[in-house]
A and B are shown apart, each in its own frame.
Chain A
């Protein structure tokens, strides 16, 4: 496959377009790498340390000054504060309230409630609240005008 690089002057303008006959495992890996980065974060649980891939994260929540990283079925603790993690994560990890960041790729659907807030149902069935003031940023990340 030919690969072409074109420089742009702003992060918002960055995008990758892959033209291929089908979505092979290699292409899915490349898409995953481009969208989420190669990284993960170090988390702890029961005094054990784990490496959590970014793609496994459903949401990250701050409760009583502690930061919890939640995957499909588990929750781990992180030493980083929410705002520190926000900088490390990819474009699909977005703040939805003062105390929570969610992975947009793990949202099954959202529904608007009276008053302007939204409820997001995640792929594991959990429901989280999207504050009214963060809806605009979610739309921006999803490329909605």
Chain B
């Protein structure tokens, strides 16, 4: 996948994830008796944040050629950059008004980041099982 396509797909995925989480949060808040309302500029700021969050993906290019240490260093830097973008966008676009809501956004961010990695790894493990099963049927006897 070329980098432009990758950035576009990432932008869409991140935007969808943020909208999904906001939707869940709105439902929870509603049933807890605290209805929330969006400002006119909130949806577009979510899309802009999604695009900005896709940019650090460039850091993860050619990940196949790294050793394990380089991989984890880059992933950590990637996570930190994303967090700074989300925190900065939240401050700029007024997503939170007090330390409590800022903490909520921060915790949600890290949960989503870890969840995305874990779910990706779980899918890779499914592929691993399927490939190993198929290899059993064609392997040479040596």
Q: Which residues of B are found within 8 Å of A132, using beta-carbon distances?
A: 63-64
Q: Which residues of A are found within 8 Å of B138, using beta-carbon distances?
A: 92, 104-105, 142
Q: List 23 A-B contacts (CB under 8 A).
A: A97-B64, A105-B139, A105-B140, A110-B128, A110-B131, A112-B125, A114-B75, A115-B71, A116-B63, A117-B63, A117-B64, A118-B127, A123-B139, A123-B140, A131-B64, A133-B1, A138-B131, A139-B127, A139-B131, A142-B134, A142-B135, A143-B134, A144-B134
Number of A-B contacts (CB under 8 A): 69
A135 on interface, CB distance cutoff 8 Å: yes
Name which of B45-53, B104-112, B116-124 contacts chain A. B116-124
Q: In the complex, which residue of chain A has the Cβ closest to the Cβ of B71?
A: A115
* Bound: A129/B64 CA distance, A: 8
A109 on interface, CB distance cutoff 8 Å: yes
Name B's A-contacting residues (CB within 8 A). Answer: 1, 60, 63-64, 71, 75, 117, 120-121, 124-125, 127-128, 130-132, 134-135, 138-140, 142
Query: With A107-B139, A114-B71, A114-B121 given, is the CB distance from A139 to B130 under 8 Å?
Result: yes
Q: Which residues of A are found within 8 Å of B117, using beta-carbon distances?
A: 114
Give A101-135 as 1s and 0s: 1 = Cβ < 8 Å from B's Cβ atoms. Answer: 00011111111111111100001000001011101
Q: Which residues of A are found within 8 Å of B64, using beta-carbon distances?
A: 97, 117, 129, 131-133
Contact (Cβ within 8 A) A116 B124: yes
Interface of A is mostly: mixed
The smallest C-beta distance from B129 to any residue of chain A, in angstroms, reads 9
The smallest C-beta distance from B6 to any residue of chain A, in angstroms, reads 11
The smallest C-beta distance from B71 to any residue of chain A, in angstroms, reads 6
A44 on interface, CB distance cutoff 8 Å: no
User: Which residue of the partner chain, among A106, A133, A138, A144, contacts B140 with CB atoms under 8 Å?
Assistant: A106
Q: In the complex, which residue of chain A has the Cβ closest to the Cβ of B64?
A: A131
Q: How large is the interface on A (under 10, 10 to 19, 20 to 34, 35 or more residues)?
A: 20 to 34
Which 5 A-B residue pairs are closest in the complex by CB-CB distance? A112-B124, A142-B134, A131-B64, A112-B128, A105-B140
Q: In the complex, which residue of chain B has the Cβ closest to the Cβ of A97?
A: B64
A72 on interface, CB distance cutoff 8 Å: yes
A42 on interface, CB distance cutoff 8 Å: no
A62 on interface, CB distance cutoff 8 Å: no
Most chain B beta-carbon contacts within 10 A, residue among A114, A129, A138: A114
* Bound: A118/B64 CA distance, A: 9
* Bound: A106/B38 CA distance, A: 58
Most chain B beta-carbon contacts within 10 A, residue among A55, A112, A143: A112
Q: Which residues of A are found within 8 Å of B60, using beta-carbon distances?
A: 115
Q: In the complex, which residue of chain A has the Cβ closest to the Cβ of B142?
A: A123
Q: 5 extra interchain contacts, Cβ-Cβ under 8 A, other than A106-B142, A115-B60, A144-B127?
A: A110-B135, A116-B120, A142-B134, A144-B131, A144-B134
